Amino acid sequence: MFAAYCLKAVIFIILKIIWVAFIPLNIIRLFYKRKICPPVTNDILLLPATILAEKIRNRELSSETVVRSYIERISEVNPLLNAVIEDRFEQALEEAKDVEHTLNSFSSVKELKKKYPLLGVPFTVKGSLAVRGLDHSCGVKMKQKEALNNAATVQKLIDAGAIPLLVSNTPEFCLNWETTNKLIGTTNNPYDTRKTVGGSSGGEGALMSAAASVIGIGSDVAGSLRIPMHYCGVWGHKPSPKIISIEGHYPSCPEEEWPEFFHVGPISRYASDLSEVFELLVEPNMKSKLKQPGDLRKLKVYYLKEIKNCIVYSANEDTKRAVEKVVNYFNNYTVNSMAKEVNGDLFKFSSEYSYIRLLLMNNVDNLFKGKGEGAHMELLRFFCCQSQSVFTSIAYGLLRWWLWALPEFYKQKTFNDLESLKTQILEFLDDESVLIIPTFSKEAGFHGDVYKRLFDYGYCGIFNALGLPSTDCPVMQTAEGMPIGIQVVGAPYCDRLCLAVAREIEKAFGGWKPPTLSVNGQHKH
């Protein structure tokens, strides 16, 4: 516990400094005007990826028409969002034209579907994953480079017939809860451009919710895939460890334990597509480990409305209401006993454990070598406006340096506490049950406000540290039209159960809703 308390004290001081530093910004942004993405006028953009693939196979739509529709939508919304690092639109259109040759080479639609289940469907990729010929610097201005090969997950979707369109924005080294860097700048939320998309898969979240993408791939080390999807009202799944390849991701880490809590996973606008993309991304030798979901009518539901910790903000009323709505739905849906609230003390130190687990990992690509040496000098350059990096990348090095100065005993105690926590959770979380918990303490806030809530990311990060699958599911919107989501957490390798519950949540609550204006609580396009 000592390491957790020490980290808490250090970040508590940082939070107080941030509060003071943001006073001028809070005043200035009172004069900013809310903007949202323009409405969707092309019905093709409203079709799930599986439906698009079916229509392309049946020649009801051409891949070229679909790809061109998405290119036009991206061109329309990106000036507002700033979500694209680099595109490959010309190549994508050529590949879409080639789909006609593939269609002609199969006599059976059934065989075509089996070989190319996503034939002709466009997809987008987080900028930390390699797409051949496109920028692969993960938002790091001083390390710009071109990908020579596709990441393993990107190649899997290409092999399934899908067509990559672009790489989307991500913070430097994926080390930020705000998608911003010195390469292309800050990505804005489609529902309110004054607000954040979160990080680090923020570019994907923005494009997805603006109907500028239908499926994509992101990565997650402490909520990096789920929190942006929560802020943007779409779907994202953090898988169980090692079932989806992380090859081709930058930053990377050679340590054997890295794949235990760093994951690559699917993102989509529709829950049915999330399941489809997930199955395509899973490594063939890991499919046997995945457990099949049983009858959802027999599902056991556990829930927690908020994490109570003196430096974790209380979940707001909308967030707690989203959990209640899902719990009440399954209380009426299932034949088992009513949902049970778990002991909140179980997750009391989840934020601290999440941070410590990541910061103590050796050899993760970042600005600094070793254990954060050089971070102090880079911080000085930053304050003198001489650094080419952003503050969060420097802060990562500083916190690493501080944590590694602690005695070995305290670090080992944290690892032991995590194992004990996992044991306690798995006493109630089994192959036929899920945990419903907030993805974050509130909806997307204004740009920069995420730095005031650094510990609230424990809602997601703890499940990376514990190796449990988790799916972010959009449930409702606030009176201002901002999305609110929840997580469905499962036991190890119960990913398909999480995804099945997500599909049921989509049926019950409608899933993704286009960005809207709100007047007196009434949402209007």
Residues annotated as catalytic are 126, 200, 224
- Rounded to an integer, what distance in angstroms lies between the CA atom of residue 423 and that of residue 375? 37
Q: Which residue has the tokens 């610097």?
A: 137
By the 8 A CB rule, do 229 and 281 touch?
A: no
- What crossing angle do the helices spanning 49-57 and 89-104 adopt, rounded to 10°? 50
Establish how many alpha carbons lie within 13 A of residue 5's alpha carbon, considering only the half-sphere containing its beta carbon: 4
220 closest CA partner among 496, 30, 462 = 462
Q: Please, what is the Cα angle at 477 between 85 and 42, to 5 degrees? A: 55
Which stretches of 299-354 are assigned E, i.e. beta strand?
300-303, 340-341
* Count of beta carbons in the 10 Å neighbourhood of residue 455: 25
- Both tokens of 521, joined, read 């609580």
Task: Please report, as a single letter, which amino acid is at residue 496.
Answer: R
By the 8 A CB rule, do 474 and 362 touch?
A: no
Residue 109 parent element (H or E): helix 109-115
* DSSP character at residue 33: P
118 closest CA partner among 68, 71, 69, 66 = 66
- Rounded to an integer, what distance in angstroms lies between the CA atom of residue 310 and that of residue 314? 9
Report whether the peptide linkage leading into residue 228 is cis, meaning its omega lies within 30 degrees of zero. no
Task: Please report, as a single letter, which amino acid is at residue 217.
Answer: I
Report the SS3 class of residue 435: strand
What is the phi/psi pair of residue 428, to 5°? Answer: -115, -20
- Both tokens of 168, joined, read 């989307």
